[in-house]
Structure 1
Amino acid sequence: MGTQNPSAVLDVISEHKEITALLSKDSTKDLDHSSICSGSTFDNDNSLVHSPSIESFSSIQDIENLAELNMDEDSDLTVKIDNPEKHLDTMETYITFRVTTRSARIEFSDHEYVVRRRYKDFLWLRHRLIECHPFCIVPPLPAKHSLIGQLDRYSKDFIITRMKSLNVFVSRICHHPILSCNENFKVFLTASPSNFATYRKKKASVTSSNGSITTLSSTHSTLKSRHIEFDKMKSYLSTLAEKLNSIEKISSRINKERSDLIAEISNFHPIFTKWASFEPQLCTTLENIAHALERSSNAQSALVLCYSNSMSIPIREFLQYIEVVQEALKKRELSQYNYEMCLDELNRRHTEKDRLLAISQDSNHHPPTGGFTLWRQPTCDDKLEKLGAHIPQLLKKVETAQDNLEMASESLRSDLEGWQLEKKQCIKKILLDFVNKQINYYQANVNAWEHVTNEMISSRKVNPSTK
């Protein structure tokens, strides 16, 4: 592809008129055509200058685990997200990603689809999945950039980190037996830009007409019965989140201290180098020590630089995953709370009916005298008539609430089994990456100082009189 500027991750995509205006000016010589993957191409929806795909940066050392983005040939539905592009619009600037889908499922008319989606499209997809499957564990999305991070949200590191997180998000959906069959997910993967925009507007109007989603509240303390299985999971998640938070904070503090240590160690190198110029007999040894200190400092610098990708970011993303599971547990508790409230209301109505029946029977055995008792009898009958119509409705409401609770429990139980397996894999990967980085660091240190020792031994063999 020719020479590549590593800092130029994304090229600018603008309207055709804006590009034409730029090309007509003398400033066209300032455009970096080496960063364009296959020249300038235009389509009907938006005239684009294609930026290089993520594969074009595979030689850069700080891009790791690109193999995770490869398509899984053994699965009947695989999705890969790559090729970030930066768009310049009149109102905003944003990034889109190429979404490549391969499917062997009968509900897909073709075997492969290629579309482009931006971050807010992924947000829409997740919101729709939550609306359609409220009791499923819908995986989290990478957090939207913070106010401070807005200035750097178009950098190479930020885009690559987000792209990897989006791949994880979509991969989790593809492996979910229910979410992967959702119609909104299929449209997200296959629809053209115009069709996708129309579909989103249609769904937005339907959602607004149905009203807002019920707000979740803390109902655990008011529940009459406790489900031991879900209570244990709730406590476990709280403990796990606390442990991971502690690990992230401690490792962050260690990383900061290591950064300060690097600055101190870097001062050794010029001291030993300068000292060697004044000690001819110790010149070789002092230079070797200076070189070893430099290599040690470089090894620590590499460890510090990879800390975010190997420890901090993965832990924070998994903490988001834990929060999603906790929200799913709260939804099940809300479903249980609604069931118990409906059941209590039904029991109250039955109690009221029994009381009115007792009053009615007592009135039949003891005929009333006076206007007061004659007025009470019609009122009691009216109440019984209303209860006779209201209790069947409450009974249906209780049955529906019970079905929802059973569905929520079964769905959550199934998702928790899959989540437990993924949790083991994710945490194992985080820890193994951390271990491997530490091994590489200490191995580089050992090699640096062993080189000094070997050089000293060799010099003594050559010149035995050297002490």
Structure 2
Amino acid sequence: RTCILILINSKNASQVLFFFFFPHSEFDLPEYSVRRRYQDFDWLRNKLEESQPTHLIPPLPEKFVVKGVVDRFSEEFVETRRKALDKFLKRITDHPVLSFNEHFNVFLTAKDLNAYKKQGMALLSKMGESVKYVTGGYKLRSRPLEFAAIGEYLDTFSLKLGTIDRIAQRIIKEQLEYLVELREYGPIYSTWSGLEVELSEPLEGVSACIGNCCTALEELSEDMTDDFLPVLREYILYSESMKNVLKKRDQVQAEYEAKLEAVALKKEDRPKVPTDVEKCQDRVECFNADLKADMERWQNNKRQDFRQLLMGMADKNIQYYEKCLTAWESIIPLLQDKPETK
């Protein structure tokens, strides 16, 4: 399945036009073109959570707070939103279970999604009935060790990413403040050169050099803002989504434990309760299997994404310092004493 996403940069930046090309037989047509708003993505994610409670649902980007951009109609906001929503869809498309969810099918193919929203589940098959989780008053005594380890890892992981995110944003802010100073600093050498005939050429060279360093720093800051921060934010939200699935698993296990105790205490209910217990046990096993599979898939994606992210970060910093080095080296001949001609 291949998805091509285009975000319309018009008066309504939240409206999205999609072209979908599907080689799979579950779709009636090989190509679809539909329009979706952010609230439609939110509807899809909520439906996936309802119908696939045992699976990790990819997070949506924040609706308004994207890399500190306030103007929802700016080009950088539109492009950041487009990339984030495109990644959200690709995460679902690559999932062996979510990609076949009927709500996802409707989201991709229905011309009028509002009709499905109003009628709720009436037009859709009620998926996930066998794995509905309980949010009632059951309390888990203790998580199994492997899931306790997952919970501890997620807490540490989100804490580390949150710290990196805050520091990275401070660095970007300081870079932008430094950039403002550089843009004022460089032209001073140029205006000074008009007063210094003997130093005119080297002063103009320094001014041009600082201008080149400004351009390099601006590119570095944009790369951090456009490429580095969004990945951090996605995985911070991803870890929260995984924690929510883990809590749902705990609720199902707590229900199972409570029903086991009921069997032991109420002998008169033995003919009826065991069937209920077996259903709870099936839900626990389903949660455990799906959660572990999704965690492994998530870890693989995370390793790949962060290797690519850190490699890009290294390359961008190398390019920045090489550009600055080249700029400063270019003016050294202008600053050196020239032999006097006789």
Q: Same fold (TM over 0.5)?
A: yes
Looking at structure 1, the residues matched to 247 and 311 of structure 2 have their Cα atoms a distance apart, in angstroms, of 32
Please list, as runs of the form range in 1=range in 2, the aligned pairs for 1:54-453 lying within 5 A after superposition.
77-84=1-8, 86=10, 95-145=14-64, 152-193=71-112, 196-203=113-120, 216=135, 222-350=139-267, 387=268, 390-453=269-332
Asked if the contact 1:276/1:287 (under 8 Å) is kept, the reply is yes
Looking at structure 2, the residues matched to 291 and 161 of structure 1 have their Cα atoms a distance apart, in angstroms, of 32
Structure 1 residues 264 and 197: alpha-carbon distance in aligned structure 2, compared to 1, 3 A threshold: closer
Structure 1 residues 255 and 192: alpha-carbon distance in aligned structure 2, compared to 1, 3 A threshold: closer
The Cα offsets for residues 185-207 of structure 1, whole Å up to 9 and x where unpaired, read as 111111222xx332332225699
The Cα offsets for residues 77-116 of structure 1, whole Å up to 9 and x where unpaired, read as 11121041657xxxxx673212222122221222111111
Structure 1 residues 254 and 83: alpha-carbon distance in aligned structure 2, compared to 1, 3 A threshold: closer
Structure 1 residues 150 and 83: alpha-carbon distance in aligned structure 2, compared to 1, 3 A threshold: closer
How far the C-alpha of 1:415 sits from its partner, in A, is 0.9
Looking at structure 2, the residues matched to 447 and 252 of structure 1 have their Cα atoms a distance apart, in angstroms, of 28
Structure 1 residues 150 and 249: alpha-carbon distance in aligned structure 2, compared to 1, 3 A threshold: closer
Looking at structure 2, the residues matched to 218 and 151 of structure 1 have their Cα atoms a distance apart, in angstroms, of 42
Please list, as runs of the form range in 1=range in 2, the aligned pairs for 1:9-88 lying within 5 A after superposition.
77-84=1-8, 86=10
What CA RMSD, in Å, does the superposition of the two structures yield over aligned residues? 2.8
How far the C-alpha of 1:134 sits from its partner, in A, is 0.3
Structure 1 residues 218 and 443: alpha-carbon distance in aligned structure 2, compared to 1, 3 A threshold: farther
Name the SS of the counterpart of 1:396 in structure 2: helix
Structure 1 residues 253 and 192: alpha-carbon distance in aligned structure 2, compared to 1, 3 A threshold: closer
Looking at structure 2, the residues matched to 392 and 110 of structure 1 have their Cα atoms a distance apart, in angstroms, of 51
Looking at structure 2, the residues matched to 249 and 180 of structure 1 have their Cα atoms a distance apart, in angstroms, of 34
Larger-Rg structure: 1
Structure 1 residues 146 and 83: alpha-carbon distance in aligned structure 2, compared to 1, 3 A threshold: closer
Looking at structure 2, the residues matched to 241 and 217 of structure 1 have their Cα atoms a distance apart, in angstroms, of 27
Looking at structure 1, the residues matched to 189 and 45 of structure 2 have their Cα atoms a distance apart, in angstroms, of 58
Gaps of 5+ in 2: none
TM-score relative to the length of structure 2 = 0.88
The Cα offsets for residues 187-240 of structure 1, whole Å up to 9 and x where unpaired, read as 1111222xx332332225699x99xx8775898xx5334322211111111111
How far the C-alpha of 1:441 sits from its partner, in A, is 1.6
Looking at structure 1, the residues matched to 59 and 78 of structure 2 have their Cα atoms a distance apart, in angstroms, of 17
Structure 1 residues 454 and 223: alpha-carbon distance in aligned structure 2, compared to 1, 3 A threshold: same
Size of the aligned set, in residue pairs, is: 335
Structure 1 residues 265 and 160: alpha-carbon distance in aligned structure 2, compared to 1, 3 A threshold: closer
Name the SS of the counterpart of 1:253 in structure 2: helix
Looking at structure 2, the residues matched to 451 and 94 of structure 1 have their Cα atoms a distance apart, in angstroms, of 44
Looking at structure 1, the residues matched to 121 and 9 of structure 2 have their Cα atoms a distance apart, in angstroms, of 27
The Cα offsets for residues 356-396 of structure 1, whole Å up to 9 and x where unpaired, read as xxxxxxxxxxxxxxxxxxxxxxxxxxxxxxx2xx3222211
Looking at structure 2, the residues matched to 150 and 313 of structure 1 have their Cα atoms a distance apart, in angstroms, of 12
How far the C-alpha of 1:323 sits from its partner, in A, is 0.8
How far the C-alpha of 1:276 sits from its partner, in A, is 2.4
Structure 1 residues 276 and 197: alpha-carbon distance in aligned structure 2, compared to 1, 3 A threshold: closer
Name the SS of the counterpart of 2:56 in structure 1: coil
Structure 1 residues 448 and 262: alpha-carbon distance in aligned structure 2, compared to 1, 3 A threshold: same
Asked if the contact 1:216/1:330 (under 8 Å) is kept, the reply is no
Asked if the contact 2:140/2:251 (under 8 Å) is kept, the reply is no
Name the SS of the counterpart of 1:162 in structure 2: helix
Could you list the runs of 4 or more consecutive aligned residues of structure 1 that deviate by over 6 angstroms after TM superposition?
none
TM-score relative to the length of structure 1 = 0.66
